Amino acid sequence: MSAVDLGGVDSPFRLLHRDARLVVIRKPPGWAVHRSDQARSGPFVLPALRDALGTAVFPVHRLDRPTAGALVLALDTDAQRALSAAFAERRVAKTYQAVVRGWPVAQVVDRPLRPLGGGDLQAAETAVHVLAVSEQPWPVGRFPSARFARLRCEPATGRWHQIRRHLAGIGHPIIGDVRHGDRHHNHLVEARLDLHRLGLWACELVLPHPDDGRPLRVTCPADRGLHRLLAGLGLGV
């Protein structure tokens, strides 16, 4: 099916795929998937999407509140169990794009991460590919100009804030990341583009369908805010 806006052009959700067992939407930034210890206040995807679709929906994975992009939800509990297991067993290929500070090189970041709340380090791996780079004549810190890059990131694991922490750890934090990022570049982009948001989105998922296990590929286009960010930094659209 072609992507449509649920409930009209002003809907926060873009419907990317729907069949009898599952839906995939483009989650907007600023929305939590559901209420949790980390997300005590809304807006929440589950009740809003249930009302938009007129049917129950069941979560199978999560995206951070500030992260936009492809989010899968099941339409029955059997599909929920099958899809949740696929994510837990790393049978889902996830691809993100990120806008970062500086000009990184293509690499695989293999760096264990500690889970939220503490505990033992857990193995974590993210493949990083460079899609575009730019330089803007905007002074920042002791530098006369600001460098930015657009990356494709493929996490092999699913740790808490994995891509955000891995990119910050190699010295190329994501623009707009107030927790792991660089405040100087964040403030610069906000002032220059009048835009404050996390430059990270889930752009593609390939997952086994709960009916027969055949791969389902869903792509997620950038939203209007991301288009503004990419165009404003000279990183394409």
Active site residue 64: yes
Helix H or strand E encompassing 30: none
Strand 200-208 versus strand 68-74 pairing type = parallel
Structure tokens at 145: 């100009």
- Report the chain's terminal Cα–Cα distance, integer Å: 23
Phi first, then psi, for residue 40 (nearest 5°) are -95, -15
Structure tokens at 208: 């086994």
Structure tokens at 29: 């930034």
Phi first, then psi, for residue 228 (nearest 5°) are -65, -40
Distance (Å, rounded) from C-alpha 116 to C-alpha 74?
26
Catalytic residue among 37, 51, 64, 177: 64
Distance (Å, rounded) from C-alpha 166 to C-alpha 80?
29
E strands present in 6-121: 14-18, 22-27, 58-59, 68-74, 93-101, 107-110
Measuring CA to CA, which residue among 175, 169, 131, 164 is closest to residue 150? Answer: 131
Indicate which residues carry an active-site annotation: 64
